[in-house]
Structure 1
Amino acid sequence: MLERIFGLGGHGTTVRTEVFAGFTTFLTMAYIVVVNPAILGEAGLPVAAVAAATCLAAGFGSLLMGLIANYPLALAPGMGLNAYFTYTVVKAMGVPWETALGCVFLSGAAFLVLTLVGVRQMIVAAIPRSLFAAVAAGVGLFIAFIGLRDAGIIVPNPATAVGLGDLTKPTAALSILGLLVIGALQAWRVQGAMLIGIVLTAAAGWALGLAHVTPGGYSLTAISATAFKLDIPGALNLKGGFGATLLEIIFVFLFVDLFDNVGTLVAVTKRAGLVDEAGAIPRLNRILIADSVATMAGALAGTSTVTSYIESASGVAAGGRTGLTSVTVGILFLITLLFAPLVQAIPSAATAPALILVGAMMVGALTEVDWADPGVAIPAFLTMVTIPLSYSIANGLAFGITSFAALKLVRGQARRSDWLLFVLAALFVLRFVYLAKG
């Protein structure tokens, strides 16, 4: 049956190899069960409920990817997108988290429609590849900054905006210990280094009395606090009060998810040898359909945008070549659902190092930027640096696309085929004008 569903023989793999690859991928990305609730919890969502929703969304999304697209790609709520949800949409814009979940659902629906009608291909072709890498790096810096702030390593400073915190304080000291532990485990190439480091750091905090967190009640019903709480009418602006801002939110959720997916797909499928002779990815629409449906399911459960994880590359390195790897990951996440509410016992000092190091890994995408070409380097730099400094992925996208289009014009390199790029740039300019008047 498995051979018939996944074509194991045709991909030169076995059930044992695929299951082992699934375990490998799961261990490298299981940290999201702890980190995602920590981030969304700051937006006011109940931590236990988000933990359960994270497991459910990751389990459902990975199963869907494996069964529909037959690729070794695991899905879960995306890092960066959860930060945008919390720090930009909810905390900076003042949008209720229920309405923000409605935006996530609508972005997933829009992604599905764009995929089905073929517009997605046009958008992907219009965005410069260097900006894909710059967005990934900018989000990485954004996440790392949040982790440094949560750790108390970086603190507000009235003279310089930010400064170095007191590293002798319990939270900062424990976070530095966590950085050393996770960094050492990663240097030794230990599978699941992130999750192991979080658990060891939390244990050290409890043992030394540096962390005092009382876990909530253990119950699968915890998810009821966020499940089906999304406010789609609010996201559609039927209740008024937010205006065009919500269109911007949906736009960013959609585009960052699109960027995440394309970057991950290219990296993982190339490594697995799953691209065809022309360099195209077979069954690409099935992959994107699975992702968009998983995003809508995640919003219904109570979590931010679900996307493909670059950690899937670890499973591919272990031999994963088919959807059976993803199905294994999905089953493991659903099993983890039984223990998800217990993540409330993990102190923030243990999750902050994970944020910092996840951010560090994401910055590695900058190697794909041609820094010798100013027309490429300047928009990439503006994108990367604007995201963390303005606390907004939307601003980074706006600066990057607008500056890229402007440099094309002044260099006389504009082509008729670039029409969609200039349309996007014009929309971003109008966005800046709208924000200035607001």
Structure 2
Amino acid sequence: MRSGRVVVCWAVYMIKPLERYFEFSRLGTNWRTEVLAGVTTFLTMAYIVVVNPSILEKTGMALSAVTAATCLSAAFGSILMGIVARYPIALAPGMGLNAYFTYTVCLRMHIPWPTALGAVFLSGIVFLLLTLFGIRQLILKAIPQELYAAVACGIGLFIAFIGLTKAGLVVGDPATLVRLGNIKDPMTALALLGLAIMVTLEIWKVKGSILIGILTVTAVAWAMGLVHWTPAAGGLQSLTATAFKLDIPGALHVGLVEIVFIFLFVDLFDNLGTLVAVTKRAGLQAQDHSIPRLNRILFTDATATVFGSLTGTSTVTSYVESTAGVAAGGRSGITAIVTGLLFLVALVAAPFVGIVPGAATAPALILVGSMMLVTVTEVRWTDPLVAIPAFLTLILIPLTYSIANGLGFGMIAWAVLHLAAGKARPKDWLLYLLALLFLIRFIYLSAS
């Protein structure tokens, strides 16, 4: 009995300093809420453990090695974000950038994957230098707040669109691009059931509503025999096939400078957009719209990309699915740490990652996406100088499947319209420079 009391006292002695460090009292959170939020975030983004390796495998990289690298880099980035920056933002190898890595750099340009990994490493180092010299912070401040409000809305539409497609409610169509899916499909019907459960629980203000919905739909899907998944290879021992195999000297070749630049450019603006959206949704921004501990967030992000390239995966970035954890109540770094720890578990239990069907996580993304539209009222829609750039930002994020593309078009429109109206200000020079860089990037991508 005495030893039991000693253990309890020791636990209390350790927990209290942690609660102070993660500011539980100020944020109005607790351990139960943070853990549930971390689990929710993991479940909504666990697909990356299967999807990322399936994409990178086409470069010639070993599937089992990339699976291990995906889990390890996601765990490292998320845990580091939680401990150092203390934000509920999870990281993992980014979708879009992994496709660019595979299909453009390796397959179309015939660049070996070790050299491509070297380019990812260099982009991460440049990221760190931009953070060290405060350039990333200047970029964040240069972008108008109303564009960031539009980014948050655009990301909301983006993740809702992902959820709708995962649910089968929206499907591709050769004539109209998209159309309504088959709601008689059992998995689509289950996704709608999950959405109804989550929304109902939200209305009744039940804690963990999103997680309850995910687990309920998963249980029903299994009971109905609707879940079929292919066990993913993995295990830490398989990492030797890709770890430290990057070719940095090859990536320094002058012909690859534009590849490093694109990795850097897309990662930079995807991250800034996600960062603003998540902190705005969580109410973690200061009254002047600044983000506390910004340097720590940016440092973590860049370090995770460097780490990911060393283990053998494409650019690691902040995930918009973190908003699912925020919607579940996550406010501190504990949420990100829990997500990271679950990715470590996935490293060992990779064959079981696919047991949660897309129909279970899809309604969570739809619900969270709808919640993020609250920032739409922050845009002055009656002023064309603001409304047009904001609209382009908002609509092009989901339609081009890229946060960076939407923000880029919004910044270009902002710069052009303010110049045409004679309202350009010298102090906004960085905004116009960024708009020019985006324009050059779009022209380059169109030409290639």
Q: TM-score, normalised by structure 1?
A: 0.77
- Superposition deviation, residue 343 in structure 1: 0.9
Hey, what does 1:85 align to over in structure 2? 97
Q: Distance in 1 between matches of 2:112 and 2:363?
A: 26
Hey, what does 1:162 align to over in structure 2? 178
The structure-2 alpha-carbon separation of the partners of 1:61 and 1:212, relative to structure 1 and needing over 3 Å to count, comes to: closer
Hey, what does 1:293 align to over in structure 2? 303
Q: Distance in 2 between matches of 1:407 and 1:290?
A: 36
- Residue in structure 1 matching 2:390, options 380, 404, 409: 380
Q: Distance in 2 between matches of 1:63 and 1:291?
A: 11
Q: Distance in 2 between matches of 1:327 and 1:170?
A: 35
Gaps of 5+ in 1: none
Q: Distance in 2 between matches of 1:10 and 1:339?
A: 29
Q: Distance in 1 between matches of 2:21 and 2:267?
A: 38
The structure-2 alpha-carbon separation of the partners of 1:372 and 1:148, relative to structure 1 and needing over 3 Å to count, comes to: same
Hey, what does 1:23 align to over in structure 2? 35
Cα deviation per residue 1:283-323 (whole Å; 9 max; x = unaligned)? 432332233223332444436523374466568x67x77x6
- Superposition deviation, residue 396 in structure 1: 1.7
- Superposition deviation, residue 430 in structure 1: 2.5
- Superposition deviation, residue 422 in structure 1: 1.2
The structure-2 alpha-carbon separation of the partners of 1:210 and 1:237, relative to structure 1 and needing over 3 Å to count, comes to: farther
Contact map agreement 1:57 1:294 (CA 8 A) in 2:
yes
- Superposition deviation, residue 404 in structure 1: 0.3
The structure-2 alpha-carbon separation of the partners of 1:6 and 1:143, relative to structure 1 and needing over 3 Å to count, comes to: closer
Hey, what does 2:88 align to over in structure 1? 74
> Is residue 112 of structure 1 aligned with residue 139 of structure 2?
no
Hey, what does 1:136 align to over in structure 2? 152
Counterparts of 1:260-279 in structure 2, within 5 Å, are 260-265=274-279, 268=282, 270=284
Contact map agreement 2:393 2:406 (CA 8 A) in 1:
yes
> Is residue 207 of structure 1 aligned with residue 219 of structure 2?
no
Hey, what does 1:256 align to over in structure 2? 270
Q: Distance in 2 between matches of 1:279 and 1:386?
A: 24
Range 372-381 or range 346-355, more displaced: 346-355
Hey, what does 2:379 align to over in structure 1? 369
Q: Distance in 1 between matches of 2:399 and 2:432?
A: 25
Range 348-357 or range 328-337, more displaced: 328-337
Counterparts of 1:398-413 in structure 2, within 5 Å, are 398-413=408-423
Hey, what does 2:52 align to over in structure 1? 40
Paired letter, 1:145? F
Paired letter, 1:37? V
Hey, what does 1:153 align to over in structure 2? 169
Q: Distance in 2 between matches of 1:141 and 1:245?
A: 29
Contact map agreement 1:137 1:365 (CA 8 A) in 2:
yes
Range 391-400 or range 93-102, more displaced: 93-102
Range 216-225 or range 288-297, more displaced: 216-225
- Superposition deviation, residue 339 in structure 1: 3.4
Partner secondary structure for residue 95 of structure 2 = helix
RMSD between superposed Cα atoms in Å = 4.2
Partner secondary structure for residue 156 of structure 1 = strand
Q: Distance in 1 between matches of 2:436 and 2:276?
A: 24
- Superposition deviation, residue 387 in structure 1: 2.6
Paired letter, 2:96? Y
Contact map agreement 2:412 2:438 (CA 8 A) in 1:
yes
Q: Distance in 1 between matches of 2:370 and 2:249?
A: 38
Cα deviation per residue 1:179-201 (whole Å; 9 max; x = unaligned)? 33444444444444444433433
- Superposition deviation, residue 406 in structure 1: 0.8
Q: TM-score, normalised by structure 2?
A: 0.76
Q: Distance in 2 between matches of 1:120 and 1:201?
A: 41
The structure-2 alpha-carbon separation of the partners of 1:342 and 1:226, relative to structure 1 and needing over 3 Å to count, comes to: farther
Q: Distance in 1 between matches of 2:123 and 2:41?
A: 24
Q: Distance in 2 between matches of 1:278 and 1:165?
A: 43
Range 393-402 or range 375-384, more displaced: 393-402
Q: Distance in 2 between matches of 1:49 and 1:349?
A: 28
The structure-2 alpha-carbon separation of the partners of 1:262 and 1:390, relative to structure 1 and needing over 3 Å to count, comes to: closer
- Superposition deviation, residue 376 in structure 1: 1.3
Paired letter, 1:75? I
Q: Distance in 2 between matches of 1:164 and 1:121?
A: 42
Q: Distance in 1 between matches of 2:427 and 2:217?
A: 53
Contact map agreement 2:123 2:261 (CA 8 A) in 1:
no
Cα deviation per residue 1:262-281 (whole Å; 9 max; x = unaligned)? 4444665747xxx5x98765
The structure-2 alpha-carbon separation of the partners of 1:85 and 1:376, relative to structure 1 and needing over 3 Å to count, comes to: same
Contact map agreement 1:149 1:155 (CA 8 A) in 2:
yes
The structure-2 alpha-carbon separation of the partners of 1:225 and 1:258, relative to structure 1 and needing over 3 Å to count, comes to: farther
Q: Distance in 2 between matches of 1:83 and 1:408?
A: 33
Aligned sequence identity (%): 43
Partner secondary structure for residue 90 of structure 2 = strand
